[in-house]
Amino acid sequence: MNLSDKQKIVADNKSRFRVLVSGRRFGKTHLALHQLAYHARIPNQLCFYVSPSYRMSKQIAWVQIKNILTDLRWIKKVNEAELTLYLKNNSRICLRGADNPQSLRGIGLNLLIMDECADIDQAAWTEVLRPTLSDTGGKALFFGTPKGMNWFYDLYQQGQDSTNDSWASWQFTTLQGGWVSQEEIEWARQDLDAKTFRQEYEATWEVYSGIVWTGFSMTDTVKHIQVPDDINTYHIGIDFNLDPMTAAVSYIKDGKIYVFDEIQIWSSNTDELVEEIHNRYKGKKIIAYPDPAARQRRTSAARRTDASILQNAGLVLKMPSKHMSIRDRINSTNSKFCNANNERGVFISPKCKNLINSLAKHTYKEGTSIPTKNEGWDHLTDALSYKISYLYPITKSYEAQPQQRFNLRTGDDYGRF
């Protein structure tokens, strides 16, 4: 497996614990697979690849490592259910998820690779996985993109201590990985807010304590909005809660979102929300962006799903097939508020007092990158972010499919699909 110059620096280092902090698309997974295969060439080795979840490990690495070792004719047996490869030299390569830490206990490892460490609970390392290396003297590699000053940051700092030969760490940008062009980097700079761009592409350690919606500005975002007469389509983000049921109402023009109204109904349901929408916006085409859980969530007396209620009421539904991560949804929304070039893409009417108040006061839990839930500031912000992250996602896997015939830049809808 060919490695870039920066990947070789990490691969060739002999330290027992190695920490790679890099921008997205640097090639972390490629390097991880290289290291798994390189170490497993030694007989009787047990090598673990651990990501935040079992599902993620399967999606990211399983097919690739299986194909690589099949081509090398190293495999003796494959266990698909347990994501385990048994090699002819009696070594094993196992893919696991940190979401089930109990399954990782009691095993002596020769090599451990932890991927996307910033999204893994520290206890999975300190309480479960670190002891698995003790009796074998096993090695560990930690890969990831920064996500605030959490335990992954602490590991990186250990590697920067030149007096400790057991640890080494590196910090590389996306561009240094050699897999993403300079042109693509510049596009990302336009699409993302400055803090997100630095974190995701330049691998810098950004402080994310405090306010969640860093792209929002009371001065620059809140503007008096008059809906143009030629606007016939409204875009409504919806968050389903009984207390309250919320919606953020907007129109889109020239790639900019103008939020001119909000709906907040207490002790309500989806039928009442639909009725309110029709009463307020008679004669308008409504495109709704609900929580993806609307496909399964049943709150009506007839046990209909929220999605079916919206569709039967004539609303056009736009929602991804699965939830975007909270982190990416927040980053997508902040990036649309204000990108790294200081270009603003969302404006909110002063009449949307509850939404403005929520954006200004919604904070992370102290010492974490987890938004608070118990103060009620998340309902309208969720409604808004479902819409923005669907239309302008920073992760390509969540982009709308071409057959939807929806112009993400202008907001023009060319018909229901």
Domains of the chain in sequence order: 5-177 (3.40.50.300), 233-404 (3.30.420.280)
Q: Is 113 exposed, middle or buried (0-12, 13-18, 19+ CB in 10 A)?
A: buried
Could you please report the per-residue DSSP string of 68-127? HHHHHT-EEEEETTTTEEEETTS-EEEEEETTSGGGGTT---SEEEE-SGGGS-HHIIII
Distance of CA 102 to the CA centre of its chain: 25
Tens of pLDDT, residue by residue, the chain (417 residues) = 788 899 999 999 999 999 999 998 898 999 999 999 999 999 999 999 999 999 999 988 999 999 999 999 999 999 999 999 999 999 999 999 998 877 787 689 999 999 999 889 898 999 999 999 998 999 999 999 988 767 898 898 788 877 788 999 999 999 998 888 898 889 888 888 888 888 889 998 775 558 899 999 888 898 889 999 999 999 999 998 767 999 999 999 999 999 999 999 998 889 999 999 999 999 999 999 998 888 877 665 567 889 999 999 999 999 988 888 898 999 999 999 999 898 999 999 988 989 988 998 898 887 777 888 877 889 999 999 999 999 999 865 444 443 333 444 444 443 332
Q: Which helix (H) or strand (E) holds 235?
A: strand 233-239
Q: Is 12 exposed, middle or buried (0-12, 13-18, 19+ CB in 10 A)?
A: exposed
Of 347, 379, 348, nearest to 361 by C-alpha is 379
Of 291, 281, 273, nearest to 389 by C-alpha is 291
Q: What size, in residues, is the chain? A: 417
Place of tokens 């799903």: 305
- For 329-354, how does the pLDDT look when each residue is reduced to its tens digit (9 = 90+)? 999 999 999 998 989 999 999 889 89
The distance in angstroms from the start CA to the end CA of the chain is 43
Distance from C-alpha of 102 to C-alpha of 113, rounded to nearest angstrom? 17
Bridge partner list, 298: 305
Angstrom distances, CA of residue 376 to CA of 217, 297, 366 = 20, 21, 16
Place of tokens 């809808």: 413
Radius of gyration of the chain (CA): 24
- Supply the pLDDT for residue 403: 34
Of 108, 122, 105, 110, nearest to 52 by C-alpha is 122
Task: Return mean pLDDT, the chain.
Answer: 87
207 in Cβ contact with 325 (< 8 Å): no
Distance of CA 213 to the CA centre of its chain: 16
Distance from C-alpha of 55 to C-alpha of 402, rounded to nearest angstrom? 26
- Supply the pLDDT for residue 277: 97
pTM value > 0.85: no
Of 359, 339, 335, 338, nearest to 349 by C-alpha is 359
210 in Cβ contact with 364 (< 8 Å): yes
Amino acid at position 137, single letter: G
Angle at which helices 5-12 and 28-40 pack, to 10 degrees? Answer: 40
Of 341, 346, 351, 357, nearest to 391 by C-alpha is 346
36 in Cβ contact with 64 (< 8 Å): no
287 in Cβ contact with 260 (< 8 Å): no
Q: Which helix (H) or strand (E) holds 194?
A: helix 194-202
